[in-house]
Amino acid sequence: MTATEARRSESTQAPSPVLTFEDVVLGFEGVTALNDVSFTVNPGELFAVIGPNGAGKTSIFNVLSGVYRPQRGTVRFGGEDLLGRRPHAIARLGIARTFQNIELFSNLTVLDNLMLGRHHHHPYGVLAAFAWLGKAQRNERANRRAVEEIVDFLELAQWRRLPVGLLPYGVQKRVELGRALASEPKLLLLDEPVAGMNLEETEDMARFILDIRDELGLPMVMVEHDMGLVMDLADRIMVIDFGKPIRTGTPKEVATDPDVIRAYLGEEHKVDRS
């Protein structure tokens, strides 16, 4: 093999995944929420999980963020074993999450909510913070700068000093996305990012999700019911039903898979997406 061939072969090799979710089994009394679920997320990839109500999508997020501890399986992120770690420890490793229902401080401004997303970027003592001295002041300035960058990136400038509770729903969801970005995550979990949005808000959110992938290169796992959005945005999709993956592949592979069509998509989705 020549050097050029060797380089080519190297560059076409699969990258090592940032996240490995392997043979995960999670049960509650009488209910198997996840039944041998495995998937990987590659660097910079937008990986979507779809499935009917009760299929196990939220359970995957709850395992990833340390809320549920599965009975079996392994979950590795950036070389670290996630199982058994508490939610704040997982957040500190660089996994940030948005929620189905907005979880923001509605009385606080957009800027303050985003600043709260950076709370673990305040590596100074309480005394220094109160006294507004040296390092604390520098950190505060760096945090404000980072937050302003997010405000620009997500086009939130016109609302920055308003209490979040007064903002339209779609903008609140965007602030929540900003709060997750403010923690400078290495992996972003999006739990139904366009749920309840109108068409315009959905299109805006789709654009920001693509910007996050393409400009920030941030890998994401997205759970979403909006099939059109998932098909348009995701690099790969895992379809689950009754806690079991039916098919994982590109949007085209998934949309044309007979098992997926039978189990979930329905005949009307049998479209040629070439």
Ligand X SMILES: Nc1ncnc2c1ncn2[C@@H]1O[C@H](COP(=O)(O)OP(=O)(O)OP(=O)(O)O)[C@@H](O)[C@H]1O
Residues that bind ligand X (CB under 6 A): 28, 31, 33, 51, 53-59
Rank residues 32 and 139 by Cβ distance to ligand X and give the closer one.
Answer: 32
3-class secondary structure for 139-174? HHHHHHHHHHHHHHHCCCHHHCCCEHHHCCHHHHHH
Rank residues 16 and 71 by Cβ distance to ligand X and give the closer one.
Answer: 71
Q: What is the DSSP letter of 262?
A: I
Min separation Cβ 167 and ligand X, Å? 25
* Residue 74 CB-half CA count within 13 A: 8
Min separation Cβ 206 and ligand X, Å? 20
Min separation Cβ 62 and ligand X, Å? 7
Min separation Cβ 120 and ligand X, Å? 27
Question: Which residues are bridge partners to 97 per DSSP?
Answer: 189
Tokens of 200: 């315009």
Rank residues 80 and 103 by Cβ distance to ligand X and give the closer one.
Answer: 103
Contact, 51 vs 39, CB < 8 A? no
Rank residues 34 and 212 by Cβ distance to ligand X and give the closer one.
Answer: 34
Tokens of 163: 């209490």
Min separation Cβ 171 and ligand X, Å? 24
Rank residues 51 and 193 by Cβ distance to ligand X and give the closer one.
Answer: 51
Edge-first strand listing for the sheet containing 46-50: 95-97, 187-191, 220-223, 46-50, 236-241, 244-249
Specify burial of residue 19 (Cβ count, 10 A radius: 0-12, 13-18, 19+).
Answer: buried
Rank residues 118 and 247 by Cβ distance to ligand X and give the closer one.
Answer: 247
Min separation Cβ 35 and ligand X, Å? 10
Tokens of 95: 């996994």
Edge-first strand listing for the sheet containing 80-81: 31-41, 19-28, 72-77, 80-81
CA distances from residue 212 to 55, 75, 107, 177, 238 in whole angstroms, order as listed: 27, 24, 27, 10, 21
Rank residues 55 and 95 by Cβ distance to ligand X and give the closer one.
Answer: 55
Min separation Cβ 59 and ligand X, Å? 3
